[in-house]
C-alpha cells in the first residue's frame, strides 16, 4: 500500500515533495511543501484505489531547541477505509509566521482542528472561513503549546525548582 502511495505522489506531485529523513514513526509519512497540501489531499481523497477519504487527525509540533531546522510541522493524518483503514501522515514544515492553506474546502471537519492549531501554536491557515481563537479567549496573549511559552504562563519566569529558594528568602515579618 505504501509503495502505491509513494509512486502516486512521486508521479504527480514530485515538485511538492520535500526530501527529508524519515522519522522513527509507526505511521508512514511524507514531507510536503505548504503550497502542495491542498492539491495532494484533494487528489488522495478522490483517487479511486487509494481513496484517503477520512481526515483522522490534524495537529502540529514545535521543534524549537532541537536539531530540526524548521520550527513547526503541521501534521495531517489520513485514513483510507477501503484499504484496511491504512493510515498515512503528511507533514508540512512551517517557519514561525508562515501560514498554511486551509483544507476546510476538502474536509469540513478540518475547521476546528485548524483553529485549535492556530489558537495554541499561532500557525495561521489561509482561506479558512473563520480563523479565530477557539479554546482560549480572544484577548489571550501568546500561544501556549509553543516551546518558548512557560508552563506557568507568562510573567513568571522562574522555574518550579527555584520556588523553594524564593520562598525561603522571603521576609515574612514584613508588614507586621
Partner 1 sequence: MYEKTQAHFESKFKKLPEGHILVNLGPSHPATHGILQNVIQLDGERIVDSESVIGYVHRCFEKLGERYDYNQFLVCTDRMNYVSTPMNNIGWILAVESLMKIEVPDRVTYVRMIIAELSRIMDHIVCVGILGVDIGAFSGFLHLFHQRENIYQILEKLTGARLTTTFCRVGGMERDIYPEFEAEVKLLCKMLRPALKEFNTLLIRNKIFNERTAGIGGISQEDAISYGYTGPNLRATGVDWDVRKDKPYMFYDRVDFDIPVGEDGSVLHRTLVRMEEMEQSIRIVEQLINKFPSGAYHADMPNIFLPEKNRVYNNMEELIYHFKIIMHGIKVPAGEHYFATEAANGELGFYIVSQGEKTPWRVHVRRPCFWYYQSFPDLIRGGLLADSVATMSSLNVIAGELDC
Contact residues for partner 1 (CB under 8 A)?
23-27, 53-57, 59, 61-62, 66, 75, 77, 81, 84-85, 87, 89, 107-109, 111-113, 116, 120, 132-139, 144-145, 149, 151
Among residues 86, 18, 16, the alpha carbon closest in space to that of 51 is found at 86
Beta carbons within 10 angstroms of residue 156's beta carbon: 11
78 in helix, strand or coil? strand
DSSP codes of every residue in 80-103: ETTTTTEEEEEEEEE-TT-EEE--
* Least CB distance to partner 1 at residue 151 (A): 5
CA dist 157 and 4 (Å) reads 50
CB of 87 to partner 1, least distance (A): 7
CB of 36 or CB of 104, closer to partner 1: 104
Secondary structure (3-state) at 149: coil
* Least Cβ distance, residue 99 to partner 1 (angstroms): 20
Helix (H) or strand (E) holding 117: helix 111-121
Name which of 28 and 39 has its Cβ closer to partner 1.
28
Query: Smallest distance from the beta carbon of 33 to partner 1, in angstroms?
Result: 21
Residue among 12 and 22 whose Cβ is closer to partner 1: 22
Return the number of the residue (49 or 147) whose C-beta is nearest partner 1: 147
- The x, y and z cell numbers of residue 153, run together, are 504562563
Nearer residue to partner 1 within complex by CB, 87 or 101: 87
At 127, list the grid cell: 482561506
- The answer to whether the CB of 86 falls within 8 A of the CB of 1 is yes
Shortest distance, position 27 Cβ to partner 1, whole Å? 5
Amino acid at each position: 500500500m505504501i509503495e502505491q502511495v509513494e509512486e502516486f505522489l512521486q508521479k504527480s506531485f514530485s515538485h511538492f515533495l520535500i526530501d527529508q529523513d524519515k522519522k522513527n514513526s509507526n505511521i508512514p509519512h511524507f514531507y510536503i511543501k505548504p503550497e502542495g497540501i491542498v492539491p495532494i489531499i484533494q487528489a488522495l481523497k478522490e483517487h479511486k484505489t487509494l481513496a484517503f477519504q477520512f481526515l483522522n487527525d490534524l495537529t502540529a509540533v514545535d521543534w524549537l531547541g532541537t536539531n530540526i531546522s524548521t520550527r513547526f510541522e503541521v501534521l495531517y493524518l489520513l485514513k483510507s477505509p477501503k484499504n484496511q483503514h491504512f493510515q498515512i501522515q503528511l507533514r508540512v514544515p512551517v517557519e514561525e509566521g508562515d501560514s498554511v492553506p486551509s483544507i476546510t474546502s476538502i474536509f469540513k471537519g478540518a475547521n476546528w482542528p485548524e483553529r485549535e492549531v492556530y489558537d495554541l501554536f499561532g500557525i495561521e491557515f489561509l482561506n479558512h472561513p473563520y480563523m479565530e481563537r477557539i479554546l482560549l479567549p480572544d484577548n489571550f496573549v501568546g500561544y501556549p503549546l509553543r516551546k518558548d511559552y512557560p508552563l506557568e504562563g507568562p510573567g513568571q519566569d522562574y522555574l518550579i525548582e527555584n520556588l523553594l529558594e524564593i520562598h525561603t528568602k522571603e521576609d515574612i515579618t514584613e508588614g507586621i
